[in-house]
Chain A
Amino acid sequence: MTPMTWLKTHATDYLLATLALAGLVALLGALRSHLNQTSIALALVVLVILVAVREGRGPALYTSILAGIAFNYFFIGPFYTLRIQRTEDIVAFLVFVLSAVLVGQLSSRLEKRVIQAEELQRSEQLKTALLDAVTHDLRTPLTSIKGAISMLRDGGLSADARQEMEEVIDQEADRLNHFIGGMMDLARLEAGQLTLQSRTVSADEMVEHALRRADPLLREHEVNTQIEPDVPQLRVDPRLISQVLFTLIENAAKYSPAGSPIGVTVRRSDNQSVCFSVSDRGRGVAPELRDEVFQKFFRAGSGPGFGVGLAIARGIVQAHRGRIWIESSGNGQGSRVQFQIPAGDAA
């Protein structure tokens, strides 16, 4: 890092520390007739601790030294000079500077440790979540496959039963493949290796593609599609945006009761962007979970969860410089997931 860039990034920290110290010294100066030297010294040390916790080691050291000088100049006699006459004042001054420096350095180090510990805990939580997801999303289809194969091997099944077990194996193998594909997409998104293959496309085309793909899941739902006539053409990666729509429709179908309607709407949200939304009449998402559902491997309770679907959807939307969010009252009123993306050059 060159001195110039260092100065740019850290100048505000030092400036803030200087201003805070100046303010405190002015306040203590105004109240000096009511304060003794010890209270003044303690107030200054408290400021050093605050700077250490907020800004780190460097600014803390700087504030300690500056506070020492100010303490001497304003509050140790003879006032308004840097000279110290009495031996006990010299001791007080040294003790002050030493404790300010020490306390500042220790506090900043402690703060750093706390941050490290929190980061570690977060990564541990993610690891546990990853393991849970692998356990559930890989073992569930494996269980069906193993069960079906063991029955086929034992023989004695009717033609009907045989066919059903073969169907189960086929579908569960597809499910495993789908899960692995999702993990690959997520890895690519996180590594920033996802390249958008954008072209000009209509919203209708992408909605239709997603609905066709979701068709087997939608047999027990009525789908109401509404695409406003003024929605412009978009310049996006149609495969990816249709993947986002598919994930939202799939979740709506999975988490709402059979027979309930699912709504898919597309409208122009302002001059430059388009808003897609998928709504259902399911259980909804509690307010405190509305951000968390977009975390990878998030699961509500012990049941099956969104896994990586919404995390991938968010990654795709963000790669298109858009945003995605959930609206839901969370007590059985259903939920509405919306995402807004810029129409791009095509608008």
Chain B
Amino acid sequence: MTDDTKRVLVVDDEAQITRVLRRGLESAGYQVRVANDGRAGIDTFRSWAPDLIITDLSMPGYDGLELCSRIRQLSEVPILVLSVTDDEPTKVKALDLGADDYVSKPFGMAELTARVRALLRRTAPPVESEEGIEIGDFKIDPRQRRVEVNGTAVHLTPKEFDLIQYFIANRGKVLTHRAILSAIWGAGSAEQPEYLRVFIGNLRKKLEPEPRAPKYLKTEPWIGYRFDPE
């Protein structure tokens, strides 16, 4: 299946927004279906098997947060949530419930379609060889616990290696502080983001050509981090 025929399910109760999204995504070459609330979203998901879901967060009845957690019980399909700016707690909640990325309203179509492309790219399988997995500028060998960036070997501490492995497995996704902390240090550390900041700083010094303007390990203000391997 090529990118042109990827299926995108849009879940939003605002008719005008769905009109714009449908036109925009169709002219970007995607097949689009629209559901007006979470329940209808799940039904369409089951019957149509979309490659990506775009959902609004506030809808009557069965909202976007509930949709995220229900979809995650069924599938790993990428979910992009539409949220309002300045509502960080809801964004974090959506991400922790399984959403992969968010776009803040109001947004332009170019930004939205770029996020859609990035998320769809993530689901493409990485190249695997004898020496490990190659993703973008990164080559990682889990058995030897070795990492190469653009052909240069980088020496990482065991925790830093766990962190980069986690980022690579979740490339393109927005990862909340809580999600990263509990994945690497266990659920008990979930409330200590300052811990993480130190490790991210060190990782950037080792991986980034310019640690002050990170290319791979980007900060999502007040939310967490996003890893982009290319």
Contacts and interface: CB of A to CB of B under 8 A. Distances in A.
Nearest to B90: A302
Given A157-B23, A161-B23, A165-B20, A143 B106 contact: yes
B65 to A, nearest CB: 8
Interface stretch (B56-64, B138-146, B188-196): B56-64
A302 B58 contact: yes
Contacts of A144: 14, 16-17, 19-20
Contacts of A304: 13-14, 58, 60
Interface string B169-186: 000000000000000000
Contacts of B87: 135
Interface string A107-143: 0000000000000000000000000000110011111
Interface in B13-38: 13-14, 16-17, 19-21, 23-24, 27
A140 B60 contact: no
Interface residues of B, number: 28
Interface string A150-165: 1100101100010011
Residue among B24, B57, B87, B106 having the largest count of chain A Cβ atoms under 10 Å = B106
A62 to B, nearest CB: 51
Nearest to A145: B106
Nearest to B24: A151
B156 interface: no
A192 interface: no
Interface residues of A, number: 28
Nearest to A255: B60
A144 B109 CA distance: 10
B212 interface: no
Contacts of A154: 109-110
Contacts of B108: 146-147, 150
Given A140-B17, A144-B17, A301 B24 contact: no
A154 B13 CA distance: 26
Contacts of A136: 58, 84
B38 to A, nearest CB: 10
Contacts of B107: 143, 146-147
The 7 closest A-B pairs by CB, nearest first: A303-B60, A150-B108, A147-B20, A146-B106, A144-B16, A143-B106, A143-B105
A156 B27 CA distance: 8
Contacts of B112: 147
Interface in A290-311: 300-304
A142 B27 contact: no
A294 to B, nearest CB: 19
Contacts of A148: 20
A171 interface: yes
A240 B59 CA distance: 31
A303 B58 contact: yes
A135 B84 contact: yes
Contacts of B61: 301, 303
A168 interface: yes
A151 B60 contact: no
A302 B23 contact: no
Contacts of B16: 140-141, 144, 168, 171-172
Contacts of A156: 27
Contact of A168 (B19, B60, B85): B19
A76 B24 CA distance: 90
Nearest to A149: B108
A51 B21 CA distance: 64
A157 B25 CA distance: 12
A222 B107 CA distance: 37
Residue among A145, A300, A302, A304 having the largest count of chain B Cβ atoms under 10 Å = A302
Contacts of B14: 140, 143-144, 304
Contacts of A168: 16, 19-20
Contacts of B13: 303-304
